[in-house]
Structure 1
């Protein structure tokens, strides 16, 4: 009986670890996925980036819905390098690398009917986690709070949001 239980636990762990990379991204609401996609697009556009990156995990999610199908989104998350080269289109076989620092990203943007608005311009700030300073964190928060204030909404970081 104990052997059967151990086998089932091992299979569950194997299945969870195989699809975990895509699963975290798949669990995000569509409005948050759009921000992650923006950050990945910007990151992959840098010439010095050699690896394909994927969404790793959320640290903070918050949104404000002032009405009329408008929503202000703030999302703080990590991206992680994979063993695939930059430009990989099918990332299902990409595995996370543990020898590279995480990329710490914060994005905030306005959506109208679930589409990202170009005005105000979406804010995307991504740096290696090891180089993130308290000043950078403060600048991120101030910028995103101004985004919400410009519409007369409460601040994005004051909302209860999801974790």
Structure 2
């Protein structure tokens, strides 16, 4: 009887984890989804990547609406490897793998009517979470703050701590 409960619990956990990966992505606004898609496209274009990756969760979301349907977006999030090979089109059957490190990504870009603008050039930085250094984190923030967002508006990451 205990084995039956364990089997049912395991099946339920697998089902809920596959739905969780889709639900977390679907909860994002269109502006943030576009940045995740951009990062996934860049990641999957690398020859060394063997697995299909999916959005796991957001760490930090920031947007500044400067009016006239223009937003400046900063999104820090994790991607996680799945059991599907790179190039998988329909990822509904893909399950997260727990034997690979997370990919830590930060993206920043300007949108107009929820479409990413080409100028300033969108910034995408993804690296294995285990290799991310404090210097890399600082470089990300500095780069995003310098991306022509200083046109009299506040910077994306103006908050520096507890005040």
The aligned counterpart of 2:109 is: 109
The aligned counterpart of 2:145 is: 145
Name stretches of at least 5 consecutive residues in structure 2 with no aligned partner: none
The aligned counterpart of 2:32 is: 32
Query: Which has more helix, going by share of residues?
Result: 1
CA-CA distance at 1:151 after TM superposition:
2.8
Q: Structure 1: how far apart are the matches of 2:15 and 2:158?
A: 38
CA-CA distance at 1:158 after TM superposition:
2.6
Q: Structure 2: how far apart are the matches of 1:96 and 1:18?
A: 7
Give the conservation status (yes or no) of the 8 Å contact 2:84–2:94: yes
The reply on whether 1:120 has 2:127 as its aligned counterpart is no
Q: Structure 2: how far apart are the matches of 1:142 and 1:14?
A: 39
The aligned counterpart of 2:22 is: 22
Give the conservation status (yes or no) of the 8 Å contact 2:17–2:95: no
Q: Structure 1: how far apart are the matches of 2:148 and 2:57?
A: 24
The reply on whether 1:41 has 2:41 as its aligned counterpart is yes
Moved >4 Å (runs of 4+): 10-15
Comparing 82-91 and 11-20, the one that deviates more: 11-20
The aligned counterpart of 1:58 is: 58
Q: CA RMSD in A?
A: 1.9
Q: Structure 1: how far apart are the matches of 2:12 and 2:90?
A: 25
Give the conservation status (yes or no) of the 8 Å contact 2:120–2:148: no
TM-score normalised by length of structure 2: 0.87
Q: Counterpart of 1:156 in 2: which secondary structure?
A: coil
Q: Structure 2: how far apart are the matches of 1:55 and 1:145?
A: 24
Comparing 35-44 and 21-30, the one that deviates more: 21-30
Give the conservation status (yes or no) of the 8 Å contact 1:70–1:111: yes
Change (3 A) 1:15 1:97: closer
Change (3 A) 1:80 1:15: closer
CA-CA distance at 1:150 after TM superposition:
3.5
